[in-house]
C-alpha cells in the first residue's frame, strides 16, 4: 500500500500485463523452463490532508560465450532515494533451417538488472507471400519471460516449427512494455533460411524461484488472547489510524478509517471472527461528518507505528489471509520506515478500484524510495499469478503473503513461491507493518465481500 503523499495520486492509471495462455505452446530456453504472466504496481502512503547487492553474472551461448560481471556493492543508493538504472529488454531477429523442429528467438537485457524483469511475448503471423501462419507453419507461443537479479542476460524463446519453406517468416512481439525494465526492440522477425547459420539456443544457469523460509527468530505472532488496539496504538498495541490520521484524500480514497470507540454505531471495523481477525470495510448506514466533510464509506486499518514488537530491521513478515473481492476495495499489507515515509515496501496490494483487477488472480508488489515525504522512485510488478506461478483464489481461501528483507535483496513470496525480488536500497531502516482495507469508490459498494480475514501473522527478526 502507500503512505499517501500530499497532492499525489497513488495507484491510479496502473496498467496490467494480461497474459492469455490460449492453449498455446510455451517453451523458454535458458537452462530452465518457465511460463506465466506478470506486471507491476503498488500502493503508497499519502497524506490525505494537508543493500547494496553484489552480482556476478556469466552468460554463455552455444554460438558465443560472454562473461559479464556487475556489482551493486559500490552503488550509492543515496539513503534509499535512488536505484540502479533499469535494464532494457529487447527481442532479437532470428533464423532457423527449413525442416527443423524449433526456432530459437533471443531475449536480452542490456545490463544486469537490480530487480526482477518480466515481459509477455507472443507470436504473430508473417506478412506477404512468404508469411508463415500459426497452426500451419509454427505453433503459437504466448509466454512470460522472467529475468531475476543475477541471471544471465540472454535467454531464448523456443517456437515449435511444424513446416516452413525457404524464406517464410513470422514474428515475435512484446505485448506490453516489460515490468521492472525498459523496452528496447519490441518486434522480432523469425525467418526460415538455409543460407545463414540458424540462431543458437542460449545456455546458462538461470536461478529457480526461491521458496520462503523463516530464517529469523520469531518475534511476534498474532494471537486473539494478547491482541490489543487503540485509536493511536502504543508499545503493546496496534493503532486504528494511520500516522497522519484517518483519511487519505490525496489517494482518492473515499473511506474513513474507523474505530468503534470513536464512531458509535458503526459495524465493527476490526473484530475476531470464526476464521480469524477481520478487517471490515463498508458503506455506512449513516454518513459521518469528519474533517469538514461527510464520509459515506468506512475503511479499516491496523498500524504498527508505535507497536514495538512489530518492528524489525531485517527478517521476514508473513501473513496468511483471505482477501475481499468487492469492487472499490483496496486491501494491502505494507511496511513503512520507522523514520518516516518514504521508504515503503508493499508486500501485497489489491487494486479493486481498477476495472481490470481480478482479486483471485492479481497481486501487486512494489517498493517506494525517497525521504522527507517526497517519493523519488517506485518500482514493482502487478502479476497475474495463475499463469505465472499457478496461484489463484485469493478471495476464495487463505493464502500466504510474505517478504524477506536482507541487506542485499528484498524478496516477495506468495504461498511460499518467490514472485519478485529487488536489490535493497534501504540499508539501516527499521520497519513497521500496516494491514488495511481502504475504500476508493462512489458506488453502492455491496457486491461480494469487503472483508480481509487474517488467519495468522508472524514476524521473524534477523540480525
The answer to whether residue 212 sits within a structural domain is: no
The answer to whether residue 136 sits within a structural domain is: yes
Output the pTM of the full model: 0.86
Span 362-374, pLDDT tens digits: 999 999 999 999 9
Of the candidates 177, 203, 229, which is a domain's last residue? Answer: 203
The predicted pLDDT at position 384 comes to 86
Span 147-178, pLDDT tens digits: 999 999 999 999 999 999 999 999 999 998 99
Same domain, 127 and 257: no
The answer to whether residue 211 sits within a structural domain is: no
The answer to whether residue 210 sits within a structural domain is: no
Span 393-402, pLDDT tens digits: 999 999 999 9
Same domain, 188 and 56: yes
Same domain, 221 and 199: no
Instruction: Give the pLDDT mean for 238-242.
Output: 98
Give the range among 55-59, 132-136, 147-151 with minimum mean pLDDT.
55-59
Does pLDDT of 380 surpass 90?
yes
* Spatial separation of the C-alpha atoms in residues 258 and 450, rounded to whole Å: 14
Cell digits of residue 16: 496490467
Same domain, 159 and 225: no
Q: Which domain holds residue 166?
A: 3-203
Of 339 and 10, the one with more pLDDT: 339
Of the candidates 168, 203, 238, which is a domain's last residue? Answer: 203
The predicted pLDDT at position 73 comes to 84
Give me the CATH number covering residue 150: 2.60.40.2030
* Spatial separation of the C-alpha atoms in residues 119 and 145, rounded to whole Å: 5
Same domain, 222 and 169: no
The predicted pLDDT at position 57 comes to 30
Q: How many domains does the chain contain in total?
A: 2
Does pLDDT of 51 surpass 60?
no
Give me the CATH number covering residue 392: 2.60.120.200
The predicted pLDDT at position 62 comes to 34
Of 149 and 204, the one with more pLDDT: 149
The predicted pLDDT at position 140 comes to 98
3-state helix, strand, coil in the chain (%, to 5): 0, 45, 50
The predicted pLDDT at position 120 comes to 87
Does pLDDT of 122 surpass 80?
yes
Same domain, 186 and 266: no
| Backbone phi and psi for residue 310, each to the nearest 5 degrees, phi listed first | -95, 5
The answer to whether residue 26 sits within a structural domain is: yes
The predicted pLDDT at position 28 comes to 52
Same domain, 157 and 280: no
* DSSP three-state, residue 387: helix
* Spatial separation of the C-alpha atoms in residues 379 and 370, rounded to whole Å: 12
Same domain, 406 and 354: yes
Of the candidates 203, 238, 263, which is a domain's last residue? Answer: 203
Same domain, 282 and 186: no
The predicted pLDDT at position 164 comes to 97
Strand 182-183 relative to strand 88-91: parallel, antiparallel, unpaired?
parallel
The answer to whether residue 124 sits within a structural domain is: yes
| Residue spans of beta strands (DSSP E) within 215-324 | 217-221, 229-230, 238-239, 255-257, 270-272, 277-280, 282-290, 293-303, 314-322
Same domain, 148 and 278: no
Amino acid at each position: 500500500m502507500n503512505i499517501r503523499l500530499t497532492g499525489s495520486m497513488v495507484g491510479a492509471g496502473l496498467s496490467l500485463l494480461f497474459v492469455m495462455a490460449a492453449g498455446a505452446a510455451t517453451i523458454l530456453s535458458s537452462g530452465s523452463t518457465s511460463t506465466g504472466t506478470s506486471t507491476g504496481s503498488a500502493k503508497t502512503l499519502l497524506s490525505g490532508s494537508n543493500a547494496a547487492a553484489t552480482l556476478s553474472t556469466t552468460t554463455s551461448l552455444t554460438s558465443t560465450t560472454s562473461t559479464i560481471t556487475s556489482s551493486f556493492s559500490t552503488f550509492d543508493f543515496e539513503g534509499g532515494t535512488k536505484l540502479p538504472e533499469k535494464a532494457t529488454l529487447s527481442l532479437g531477429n532470428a533464423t532457423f533451417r527449413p525442416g527443423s523442429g524449433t526456432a530459437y528467438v533471443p531475449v536480452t537485457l542490456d545490463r544486469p538488472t537490480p530487480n526482477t524483469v518480466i515481459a509477455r511475448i507472443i507470436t504473430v503471423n508473417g506478412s506477404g507471400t512468404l508469411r508463415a501462419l500459426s497452426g500451419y507453419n509454427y505453433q503459437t507461443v504466448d509466454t512470460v519471460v522472467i529475468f531475476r537479479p543475477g541471471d544471465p542476460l540472454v535467454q531464448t524463446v523456443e517456437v515449435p516449427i511444424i513446416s516452413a519453406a525457404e524464406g517464410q517468416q513470422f514474428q515475435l512481439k512484446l505485448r506490453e512494455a516489460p515490468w521492472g525494465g525498459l523496452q528496447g526492440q519490441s518486434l522480432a522477425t523469425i525467418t526460415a533460411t538455409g543460407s545463414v547459420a540458424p540462431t543458437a539456443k542460449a545456455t546458462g544457469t538461470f536461478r529457480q524461484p526461491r521458496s520462503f523460509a523463516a530464517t529469523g527468530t520469531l518475534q511476534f505472532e498474532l494471537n486473539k488472547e494478547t491482541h490489543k488496539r487503540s485509536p493511536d496504538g502504543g508499545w503493546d498495541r496496534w493503532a486504528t489510524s494511520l500516522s497522519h490520521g484517518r483519511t487519505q484524500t490525496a489517494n482518492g480514497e473515499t473511506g474513513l478509517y474507523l474505530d468503534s470507540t470513536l464512531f458509535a454505531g458503526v459495524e465493527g471495523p476490526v473484530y475476531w471472527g470464526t476464521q480469524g481477525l477481520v478487517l471490515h470495510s463498508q458503506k455506512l448506514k449513516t454518513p459521518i461528518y469528519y474533517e469538514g466533510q461527510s464520509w459515506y464509506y468506512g475503511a479499516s486499518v491496523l498500524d504498527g507505528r508505535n507497536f514495538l514488537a512489530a518492528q524489525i530491521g531485517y527478517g521476514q513478515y508473513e501473513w496468511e489471509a483471505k482477501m475481499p473481492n468487492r469492487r472499490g476495495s483496496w486491501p494491502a499489507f505494507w511496511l513503512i520506515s520507522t523514520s518516516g515515509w518514504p521508504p515503503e515496501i508493499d508486500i501485497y496490494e489489491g487494486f479493486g478500484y481498477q476495472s481490470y483487477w481480478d482479486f483471485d488472480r492479481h497481486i501487486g508488489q512494489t517498493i517506494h524510495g525517497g525521504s522527507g515525504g517526497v517519493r523519488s522512485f517506485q518500482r514493482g510488478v502487478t502479476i497475474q499469478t495463475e499463469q505465472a506461478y499457478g496461484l489463484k483464489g485469493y478471495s476464495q481461501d487463505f493464502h500466504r503473503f510474505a517478504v524477506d528483507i536482507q541487506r542485499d535483496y528484498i524478496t516477495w513470496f506468495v504461498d511460499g513461491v518467490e514472485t519478485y525480488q529487488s536489490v535493497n536500497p534501504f540499508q539501516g531502516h527499521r520497519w513497521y507493518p500496516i494491514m488495511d482495507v481502504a475504500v476508493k469508490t462512489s458506488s453502492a459498494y455491496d457486491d461480494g465481500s469487503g472483508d480481509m480475514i487474517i488467519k495468522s501473522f508472524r514476524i521473524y527478526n534477523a540480525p
